A and B are shown apart, each in its own frame.
Chain A
């Protein structure tokens, strides 16, 4: 070991670090009471969460009803099952303020690092959406296969511990890198909940199979004509 290295180790004892606080009790409270909802919502506000409403379409497209029977919030995404919503027409994007940008420009426009799935390589097109007043965007989208395959990355995450037990039909829990993720098999209606909390149903579109997971406070949504295993493979290849 060199002199400088030794000096650094010695210096360690001289650095002023305040006495450690006792956080045991507070950690315990957060772990044992699902009632810490308030705190959760406060922290959610802090990360400026994006929420997507996913309504799983029942096999028959019955009458529209606004009643949502089951709700699951996960990774910045809400999954709701209910009586079939109207399948929207066209391929409109449910994301407000969406625009096409170059990858490096997208990286500057969002607050989180944009990661590319190595299984898919470089995206054909990059989109950002839902800017705030300072022109920072909440969502970055990577498009592949002429737009048939897409990866949405949202700034923010949701706590899944309260929702583990609830899972609507059509969606299943899977694992990505050892963490819980949600797999929605088959077409479903996708809407977007914007900054104001408004659900943008009018621009909703039909989504293909989707995998939703989160990593490092960023939530991801992979959508395309994929099998569950393929989707997980792609998710795991994010670098």
Chain B
């Protein structure tokens, strides 16, 4: 019997190995594959209009530091750590962070099935708006850890790598940030009755 073998796309590890040996085409593939999440990370951490420069710099640095990548964490989270670090450098140099921006409800591609009645949609929209509002009021570090854990969907270990904090700090900061967020939302609800 013949078995059709299809060429599997190279995984990150294989590409990293090639890139390390100086194969720039392999690195191109890695850049293309991770541009979207790198960009999202920069935006969500507040790089705003400088996000493009931030990720470009991060990819250049990542290439030069490839020998340091040990493969304990995924290439993605290792790269996102560099993006996070570049974003912090940016904040340091320009002294400003861009906040989170909530997308107009209609633009969300996943919304059609979930929200089919109009009232529900409005309520959910309001809830999201107050959530964003509350997030904006959190201290920077609280917001950073929530961005990593819930928006970028990084594991605890990956967040440790991305923020460069000790594991215990990531853990405690996450729960403290969630508690603060809950408090802010409760206060909001009380105000609106």
Interface residues on A, range: 20 to 34
Interface pair B131/A179, CB less than 8 Å apart? no
Alpha-carbon gap, A11 to B150, bound state (A): 9
Q: Mark A1-41, 1 if CB is under 8 A from B, else 0.
A: 01011011101111111101111101110111000000000
Interface pair B108/A13, CB less than 8 Å apart? yes
Q: Which residue of B lies closest to A111 (CB)?
A: B92
Q: Is A178 an interface residue (CB 8 A)?
A: yes
Interface pair B60/A20, CB less than 8 Å apart? no
Interface pair A4/B153, CB less than 8 Å apart? no
Q: A4-B181, A30-B60 are in contact. Are A216 and B85 (CB under 8 A)?
A: yes
Q: A16-B103, A20-B35, A179-B68 are in contact. Are A11 and B110 (CB under 8 A)?
A: no
Q: Mark B115-140, 1 if CB is under 8 A from A, else 0.
A: 00000000000011001100000000
Contact residues, B46-99 vs A (CB, 8 A): 51-52, 55-56, 59-60, 63-65, 67-68, 85, 89, 92-93
Q: A7-B131, A8-B131 are in contact. Are A15 and B151 (CB under 8 A)?
A: yes
Residues in B whose Cβ lies below 8 Å from that of A105: none
Alpha-carbon gap, A13 to B44, bound state (A): 12
Alpha-carbon gap, A24 to B89, bound state (A): 22
How many chain B residues touch A (CB < 8 A): the figure is 48
Q: A5-B150, A31-B24 are in contact. Are A14 and B56 (CB under 8 A)?
A: no
Residues in A whose Cβ lies below 8 Å from that of B1: none
Residues in A whose Cβ lies below 8 Å from that of B141: none
Alpha-carbon gap, A8 to B109, bound state (A): 17
Q: Is A161 an interface residue (CB 8 A)?
A: yes
Q: How many A-B residue pairs have CB under 8 A?
A: 103
Residues in B whose Cβ lies below 8 Å from that of A145: none
Alpha-carbon gap, A20 to B83, bound state (A): 14
Q: Is A124 an interface residue (CB 8 A)?
A: no
Interface pair A24/B103, CB less than 8 Å apart? no
Residues in A whose Cβ lies below 8 Å from that of B132: 11, 15
Q: A17-B39, A23-B52, A31-B27 are in contact. Are A179 and B65 (CB under 8 A)?
A: yes
Q: How far is the CB of B143 from chain A (nearest CB, A)?
A: 11
Alpha-carbon gap, A112 to B91, bound state (A): 12
Q: Is A230 an interface residue (CB 8 A)?
A: no
Alpha-carbon gap, A17 to B55, bound state (A): 14
Interface pair A15/B24, CB less than 8 Å apart? no
Most buried by A among B44, B151, B178: B151
Interface pair B67/A15, CB less than 8 Å apart? no
Most buried by B among A13, A16, A178: A16
Q: A4-B178, A178-B68, A216-B85 are in contact. Are A17 and B24 (CB under 8 A)?
A: no
Contact residues, A142-179 vs B (CB, 8 A): 161, 177-179
Residues in B whose Cβ lies below 8 Å from that of A15: 44, 100-103, 132, 151
Alpha-carbon gap, A21 to B50, bound state (A): 11
Q: How far is the CB of B160 from chain A (nearest CB, A)?
A: 16
Q: Which residue of A lies closest to B107 (CB)?
A: A16
Q: Is B161 an interface residue (CB 8 A)?
A: no
Q: How far is the CB of B179 from chain A (nearest CB, A)?
A: 9
Most buried by B among A16, A18, A23, A32: A23
Q: A14-B108, A17-B39, A20-B35 are in contact. Are A8 and B151 (CB under 8 A)?
A: yes
Q: Is A217 an interface residue (CB 8 A)?
A: yes
Interface pair B36/A20, CB less than 8 Å apart? yes
Q: Which residue of B lies closest to A3 (CB)?
A: B182
- Some 7 contacts from A to B, beta carbons below 8 A apart, are A11-B132, A15-B132, A23-B52, A27-B28, A28-B27, A30-B56, A31-B60
Given contacts A4-B178, A14-B103, A31-B63, 9 further A-B contacts (CB under 8 A): A11-B132, A20-B40, A23-B35, A27-B28, A27-B60, A30-B60, A112-B92, A178-B68, A179-B68
